[in-house]
Chains A and B, each alone.
Chain A
Amino acid sequence: MAHVHDELLERDIEAYLGRHENKSMLRFITCGSVDDGKSTLIGRLLYDSHLIFEDQLVALESDSRKVGTQGDAIDFALLVDGLVAEREQGITIDVAYRFFSTERRKFIVADTPGHEQYTRNMVTGASTADLAVILIDARKGVLTQTRRHSYLVSLLGIREVVVAVNKMDLVDWSEETFRSIETDYATFAAELGIDNVTCIPLSALLGDNITRPSVEMDWYSGPTLLETLETVEVADDVINGPFRMPVQWVNRPDHTFRGFSGQIVGGRIQPGDPVRVLPSGQTSTVSRIVTADGDLEEAVAGQSVTIALDDEIDISRGDVIASGDAPPAVADQFECQLVWMSDDELLPGRPYLLKIGTRTVTATVTRPKYSINVNTLEHTAAAALELNEIGACNISLDRAIPFDPYSENREMGGFILIDRFTNATVGAGMLNFALRRADNIHWQSLAVDKASRSKLNMQRPVMVWFTGLSGAGKSTVANLVERRLHGLGLRTYLLDGDNVRHGLNRDLGFTDADRVENIRRVAEVGALMVDAGLIVLSSFISPFRAERLMARELLDDGEFIEVFVDSGLDAAEERDPKGLYAKARRGELVNFTGIDSPYEPPENPEIHLDTSGAVTPEDSALKVVDYLRSVGVFD
């Protein structure tokens, strides 16, 4: 480090280290655009807190001359603009983490860009921040982007905001300008429910009120930016809340010890405390809090520990060990705020993986109730969510999970959504509350079940799912199969794409979102018919793997038989029995599968029918019937 003004460091290193060991840590996010001088501000903090090494300084000086924007002066922004691509473009394009440290605190700064399209990055950076520094250009005042940043900060539950009114040197250090921005912001913050706001007039370029009080602005008697960051008390609601620990790993070195390892995300715990394990609801008492440094008398939120219990109860990864007096609720349907982070839009009805705490479940999202315009905070109707859009949705899980509202506990109420095929993290959300709906609807247990109906019908019920391009021959083959099965005295029903759209799915169009909903309804209806003991044939283009998988998962093993009717695009278009390809080619029909909407072929269909050439539909149908016999659907 360039230099540290600390006598103790030179005189008594052990005392110095002892003092530094007990420093606290503050994580904050900086919000603002390149033009607001954000990188300059961070560069200046790093520079003025003396954490730049000499060789970095030499590189910085030479870079400043080469690509800097400050003439011969040092361009602090170059300290923080990392990747080659963005150095060339002159913008930061992702979340970067910076570190600096003072006598009192260690700081982790999430540096995120202020561009409109990068809501995703800001939300990511804000998710772990205790405080936000929002930059305002003194010449411009509170802008649309200031509102956007403040809204996202409040959405992610940050309660401490420092407003850095930058470039005061360019408004002649005017107190009037500063006060008017301060007043404007206060009004806006109150609307958003941000309680703790500190406004500081400063110049990142010249260093005024960053680490040293400004001589030019003697009318300002408040703390500098660094002083504020060093002394701000971050309210620790979580540590004072009820005990919560999601189990990460069951620790079983040998038969004499069984503990549950995890990071405490709420409250505190001591040996002897009663606990409840969720979602099972079993209760026990903490016998030991085990760490490599010896057993603890008490552990608090933030610590990673291993807990042993008095009773041998069944606990696995994903369960939550919680306070016996104040356990979290358990539910499988919620209202949530959802931030979409993928280029592929959110498709209501499509199953995604949801990870919350240490548990991963399958989730489907309903059509958004509304999306939020982050610039005006207005609610607008939305059918889906696109990249960087935020909406309020209901979300439904395949099993119940323990949770707390995000506003009470970030780790118990924050989740990510993962695409089941690309494995990308496509969304992030915050649970607001559980919907009562799920609590009140119980499965009616029925005396006559699928097995008994199946026996009476003397057939094994299945769903035979024909998928393929329009014109590939799905309906033709499915019809022939049904006729043959009927002829054999079997009980069947054919669900056909076109027919269903005349009734059950009359309200749906051909967008990706509607296609997903179309298939979801058909799959549910088909599953009921299988339960009724029928052999169900369904003939739908069903272009997406995800929805075909959803249909498969509604049924028991061996009940879903996927038939890929594969003619290839050329043959289907050549046939064009309904004249649709011609229309699509002329641009009269949009979202047509194979033309301007994708078809994802099955990877491992039970039956693959090549219908491109000489094989007759009768032969194809026979192949399906033979398969059904071979897997015991009928004798």
Chain B
Amino acid sequence: MTLSHLQRLEAESIQIMREAVSESERPVMLYSVGKDSSVMLHLAIKAFYPSLPPFPLMHVDTTWKFRAMYEFRDQRVAETGMDLIVYQNPDARDRGINPFDHGSAMHTDLWKTEGLKQALDLHRFDLAFGGARRDEEKSRAKERVFSIRSDQHRWDPKAQRPELWSLYNARKAPGESVRVFPLSNWTELDIWQYIYREDIPIVPLYLAAQRPVVERDGTLIMVDDDRMPVDPNEVTHRSVRFRTLGCYPLTGAIESQASTLTEIIQEMLLATSSERQGRVIDHDSTGSMEKKKQEGYF
């Protein structure tokens, strides 16, 4: 009996999660509501079955996610019985930070990067699971599965611990924390195949439907609520779907007719642009993700 690639990936992710939980005091799983988070949550439930995963989920919220994401999140939490912590950076909330007036860089920095640091400090979490994959972006290809962050949440790419076999070193000094990436070795295609094989629920925004969109700098943006300044005449209804999910004003839609899971996979296999293209945050400059990560972004 030879294990298939999905069976090997699943077994590895489960092994990583059990190690992480065994070697930390206060673990938490960062839950961003996207498809990678959905897979990660599914794997967590498998890893600790019949127990519930011994950690809460935490959503570092920006108040600017798609409405469908909030609905989906609350529904999944109710179905799984997991505890959920929602954190919104109070400073960003008081200042009304938004992508329209403040730009994507400041919006992301305050809500997400700062918000995450505040939330980890507030709850004194010493280990956080994240759903990042090495195939997403070149700087991720070298990140470890267990990645140590300083007490300032900084990542030092030059001081990474070698990871041999399936032995992970999660030891840390007081104040330091560990980010753990159980999906490190998964690709986007693996994620979709696994969602298909395991019938994992995902946010409906991944499937094509008629949605109101406007065009901004060549990117299709969905008008998800009335906070978005638009000229009513520029809004059109088109059949679109999303390859990644984030803050709706910063997430590009693609025109598509793929309204079922298998159609998405088919379309993706025949597709012509990679996943992160829809994410406005990456376009700032080459190496932008690496800089953000050094500053504490996931």
Chain A residues with CB under 8 Å of chain B are 1-4, 9-10, 13-14, 16-17, 20-25, 53-56, 80-85, 87, 94-99, 101, 105-106, 108, 120-121, 123-124, 127-128, 236, 239, 248-249, 251-253, 257, 259, 261-263, 290-293, 300, 302-304, 306, 317, 341, 353, 355-356, 358, 410-411, 414-416, 418, 423-425, 428
Contact = CB atoms under 8 A, between A and B. Distances in A.
B164 A251 contact: no
A105 B4 CA distance: 9
B282 to A, nearest CB: 10
A97 B164 contact: no
B161 A292 contact: no
A303 B11 CA distance: 5
B165 A53 contact: no
A303 B185 contact: no
Main secondary structure of the interface of B (DSSP, over half): helix
Contact of A410 (B14, B157, B165): B165
Contact of A13 (B9, B148, B161, B265): B265
Contact of B273 (A53, A249, A356): A53
What's the dominant secondary structure at chain A's contact region?
Answer: mixed
23 contacts: A9-B269, A9-B270, A10-B266, A13-B265, A16-B266, A53-B275, A53-B277, A54-B272, A54-B273, A55-B272, A81-B138, A94-B157, A94-B160, A105-B5, A127-B165, A128-B166, A236-B2, A248-B19, A249-B48, A300-B1, A300-B3, A358-B22, A423-B171
Interface stretch (B33-41, B188-196, B216-224): B188-196
Given A17-B265, A120-B162, A425-B169, A290 B50 contact: yes
A245 to B, nearest CB: 11
Contact of B22 (A10, A85, A248, A418): A248
Contacts of A416: 162, 164, 167, 169
A118 to B, nearest CB: 11
A82 B142 contact: yes
B7 to A, nearest CB: 7
Contact of A124 (B14, B163, B187, B269): B163
B14 A304 contact: yes
Given A25-B4, A292-B45, A410-B165, 14 more contacts: A3-B270, A17-B262, A21-B6, A23-B4, A25-B9, A81-B138, A84-B287, A94-B157, A101-B189, A106-B187, A302-B11, A304-B15, A353-B171, A356-B167
Contacts of A261: 18, 47-48
Contacts of B3: 24-25, 300, 302-303
Contacts of A105: 5
Nearest to B291: A84
Interface in B247-298: 262-263, 265-266, 268-275, 277, 286-287, 290
Given A251-B48, A303-B11, A128 B162 contact: no
B131 to A, nearest CB: 16
B15 to A, nearest CB: 4
B47 A304 contact: yes
A42 B246 CA distance: 32
Which of A56, A248, A411 has most chain B Cβ within 10 Å?
A248
A17 B193 contact: yes
A-B pairs, top 4 by smallest CB distance, nearest first, are: A53-B274, A82-B138, A25-B5, A292-B49
B265 A304 contact: no
Contacts of B123: none
Interface in B1-58: 1-12, 14-15, 18-19, 21-22, 45-52
Given A21-B197, A249-B18, A249-B22, A108 B185 contact: yes
B147 to A, nearest CB: 13
A459 B161 CA distance: 48
A291 B49 contact: yes
Contacts of B98: none
Given A124-B162, A261-B18, A428-B164, A10 B6 contact: no
Contact of B135 (A54, A99, A317): A99
B122 interface: no
Contacts of B52: 253
A149 B264 CA distance: 43
A248 B167 CA distance: 12
Interface string B178-190: 0000001101011
B21 A302 contact: no
B134 A99 contact: yes
B139 interface: yes
A194 B98 CA distance: 60
B124 interface: no
A98 B141 contact: yes
Name the residue among B148, B187, B196, B274 with the largest chain A CB count within 10 angstroms: B274
B230 interface: no
A20 B262 CA distance: 13
B266 A97 contact: no
Given A1-B271, A23-B5, A83 B49 contact: no
B67 interface: no
Given A25-B5, A82-B142, A304-B15, A99 B187 contact: yes
A320 to B, nearest CB: 14
Contact of B15 (A120, A128, A248, A355): A248
Contact of A249 (B2, B21, B173): B21
A14 B263 CA distance: 9
Contact of A4 (B135, B270, B277): B270
B172 interface: yes
B8 A302 contact: yes
A414 to B, nearest CB: 5
Contacts of B134: 97, 99
A411 B142 contact: no
A428 B162 contact: yes
Contacts of B138: 80-83
A54 B271 CA distance: 8
B262 A13 contact: yes
Contacts of A418: 169, 171
Contact of B185 (A99, A124, A239): A99
B274 to A, nearest CB: 3
Contacts of A414: 164-165, 167
B171 to A, nearest CB: 4
B270 A263 contact: no
Contacts of A127: 164-165
B75 to A, nearest CB: 20
Contacts of B187: 99, 101, 106
A424 B161 contact: yes
Contacts of B190: 106
A34 to B, nearest CB: 16
A14 B173 CA distance: 50
| Residue of A127, A259, A293 with highest tally of chain B CB at under 10 A | A127
A108 B9 CA distance: 11
Nearest to A6: B269
Nearest to B3: A302
Contacts of B262: 13-14, 17
Contacts of B15: 248, 262-263, 304
B167 A121 contact: no
Nearest to A22: B4
B5 A106 contact: yes
A626 to B, nearest CB: 32
B167 A10 contact: no
Given A99-B185, A248-B18, A21 B4 contact: yes
Nearest to A406: B165
Contacts of B9: 25
Contacts of A14: 262
A353 B287 CA distance: 36
A159 B189 CA distance: 30
A358 B21 CA distance: 12
Contacts of A239: 1
Contacts of B165: 127-128, 410-411, 414
Contact of A83 (B45, B142, B263, B268): B142
Contact of B142 (A54, A95, A355, A424): A95
Interface string B116-140: 0000000000000000001100110
